[in-house]
Structure 1
Amino acid sequence: MTIIDFPLRNETTTPSEALANLDPCPRTAALIGKTPLLRLPARGPDRSRGYWAKLEGSNPGGIKDRAALYMVKQAREKGLLVPGGPIVESTSGTLGLGLALAAQNFGHPLTVVADPGLEPAMRRLLLAYGAQVDLVDRPDPIGGWQEARRARVNAITADRSDTWSPDQYHNPDNVAAYEALALELAFQAGRVDILVCAVGTGGHSAGIFRVLRRLYPHARLVGVDATGSTIFGQEARPRLMRGLGSSIFPRNVAYDAFSEIHWVPASAAVASARDLARRAYTTGGWSVGAVGLVADWLARKEKPGTRIVAVFPDGPHRYADTVFNDDYCRENGILGQPVPDEPVTISSPLSTQVVEWSRSETVVDPVLAEAAR
């Protein structure tokens, strides 16, 4: 339930008078945050089992609205971004929407550097919001599409001294931006025993858990990665999913905070997202499907009363051409797969390459592991 705090001028002001004094067109940035927390039942006959989903798709563009607005605000305050200066950033989509909002709010031109995997609907939205979309045409031989996009950002910013890039993969403000989300969760849930987050740049998992761990020292963080992602020590392989996983090593990932990591393939994420839509009328894209799959398993596995909170980064609408498109899923061999019941457990991500839903309680920072060799 949303509660509106009317700005009463004095005790005799009526609600109708207060409503008349409200700005009918608030700045869009004011709509970010205070997103719902919804309880979802776990699969199976035991309706007492379930988890709580933080619905970040209720933000104008998704969870990264929070990070985009905060990073731009901080850059302006630090003098890194001059008034009217261009913003250039690499993104697979969601941060681009947030940056488009922040660019409008503060008056900056925006260039989004993406790759051919950008969903057609997302590209159209970015253009509609006034962003320029710059597509790279080939992946980096080592760092894949992400490194190719970052190289393009560096090439663009090198030509103009007034241009700023957020560098979401390594910018600590991308972590700090999620303090408000953590406090919202604490207020709404009352207690968090397990937090389940997708991991891409590492920003929201690190930022939320940094606060929750102080409030609830017993809390555990469970990360959800994509098969073929390098973040936790797997070898890089082609990835279909957007928004989670990486072919580089983002330094915002809080490796020491995770109790366990799950790797989810695209087929399982699609099956889970569609299952959520049918059962709960609440769903989203790749990340939501993957996170929901893991949170559902934890809800069935953990002892009764364990309060599990899953962060759903976005909603379903931008995925009409991919996750919810039978032709697209059929062409990519991921249509009609059953929702798996449980993951395979591996001892170490450095010794086993996973292709199916898998988990490990051994959490490795591959950069530090390589340096120690």
Structure 2
Amino acid sequence: MTVPTLAHPANPDLLPLLGRTPLARIRTPLPAPHPGFWAKLECLGAGGMKARSAVAMLRGAHARSELRPGATVVESTSGTLGVGLAFAGQALGHPVVLVGDAELEPSMRQLLRSYGAELEIVDRPAETGGWQAARLARLREVLDRLPGAYWPDQYNNPDNAAGYHAMARELIGELPELDVLVCSVGTGGHSAGLVEPLRRRWPRLRVIGVDSVGSAIFGQPARTRLMRGLGSSIHPRNVAYDAFDEVHWVGPAEAVDACRRLARSCFVSGGWSTGAVALVAAWAARAPGGAAVATVFPDGPHRYLGTIYDDAYCRAHGLDPDRAHTAADPAEIPHPGAVEATGWTRCRTVADPLAVRT
């Protein structure tokens, strides 16, 4: 790897483009009819949802003198944070090196390189911790080769969550009431950043975390996951376990079904995380007596044209797009270790798996 050089000075004119994304009313049956829920469309913000956290992490590092002017930023990503860091790097004047893996789509690789990021690609998962552990091992090698480079450590950096405080303010200004917040969980950043300010405004707010089957975040066993963008094979310290009232695990067939229903009927759709949270938000909106429900659609559909929206891909992975895969309600388990979730599953017991073990 060559040492990256800064092609352009900082471009602070980009920063006013951050955030202030539209809020859409979603009424698509998912799969059953429901009264509707609100979705923050982060795909329509410059740099995507994670540009918020990327800018916050780099600004926080500047303030603590951990990141020198013009120094290289190195981070692990499955794609979305990479776009956000490319935005933050241009805005704040930092070259960006991103450590991805072999499952990073060719279109995403092209996009990240087009934005000026340099890519390091890991070609095989680690025996323990999967792709994330393999990426983190390569990241440490890159840091050794680049003295003075800065690693934001999105999984454990509290500035990741702080980047979403502005989104919380936007929601407070847009919604007259909010009963339920539904959040996909990967690094834990946007859920942790939203909950505290939203609960100050609406103290009785219920928060539902949405994870991927095969993810270890909430105490299920780590497995190979088809879904990317949510879930983890490690336990990020940004996850605010005590903030969640319940957790739902969603499988790829259910996410594909939800994404395609959204695309066909309301023109608003996205990737794995979007399908998963849409399914759970629609379920929450069907609560007896009604509920004001909001969620965040982290990205749009374009990255997933060769996966979620490709019939051949779906059939090859057992996700027949011509057959509905989703029940109207999730299965329910009493605690995360009771049964391994293979499809949409709900659990009202939420605890930090690392704390439970100790």
Pairwise TM-score range, normalised by the shorter structure: over 0.9
Match of 1:131 in 2: 117
- Is 1:353 aligned to residue 340 of structure 2? yes
Structure 1 residues 90-105: aligned runs within 5 Å: 90-105=76-91
Separation in 2, partners of 1:359, 1:270: 19
Structure 2: segments with no counterpart, 5+ residues: 1-10
**Which residue of the other structure, out of 326, 345, 349, is the alignment partner of 1:362?**
349
Match of 2:94 in 1: 108
Q: Residue 317 of structure 2 aligns to which amino acid in structure 1?
A: N
**Which residue of the other structure, out of 285, 303, 313, is the alignment partner of 1:318?**
303
Match of 1:327 in 2: 312
Q: Residue 296 of structure 1 aligns to which amino acid in structure 2?
A: A
- Is 1:249 aligned to residue 250 of structure 2? no
Separation in 1, partners of 2:105, 2:181: 29
Q: Residue 96 of structure 1 aligns to which amino acid in structure 2?
A: G
Separation in 1, partners of 2:251, 2:30: 22
Distance apart, 1:108 and its partner CA: 1.2
Distance apart, 1:158 and its partner CA: 2.4
Structure 1 residues 81-96: aligned runs within 5 Å: 81-96=67-82
Q: Match of 1:112, SS?
A: strand
Distance apart, 1:44 and its partner CA: 8.2
Separation in 2, partners of 1:48, 1:344: 19
Q: Rg: which structure is higher?
A: 1
Indicate the RMSD between aligned Cα atoms, in angstroms. Answer: 1.7
Separation in 2, partners of 1:333, 1:124: 28
Count of residue pairs brought into register by the alignment = 346
Tell me the TM-score normalised to structure 2 length: 0.93
Q: Match of 1:102, SS?
A: helix
Structure 1: segments with no counterpart, 5+ residues: 1-24
Separation in 1, partners of 2:38, 2:29: 14
Distance apart, 1:26 and its partner CA: 8.2
Q: Match of 1:27, SS?
A: helix
- Is 1:143 aligned to residue 129 of structure 2? yes
Separation in 1, partners of 2:167, 2:81: 16
Conserved 8 A contact 1:172-1:252: yes
Match of 2:8 in 1: none
Separation in 1, partners of 2:92, 2:30: 48
1:58-96 CA-partner distances (Å, limit 9, x unpaired): 112321010011111111221111111111100000100
Separation in 2, partners of 1:152, 1:49: 47
1:175-231 CA-partner distances (Å, limit 9, x unpaired): 111100001001101221100010000000011011111111100110000000000
Separation in 2, partners of 1:85, 1:190: 43
Structure 1 residues 178-327: aligned runs within 5 Å: 178-304=164-290, 306-327=291-312
Distance apart, 1:48 and its partner CA: 7.2
Q: Residue 96 of structure 2 aligns to which amino acid in structure 1?
A: L
Match of 2:62 in 1: 76
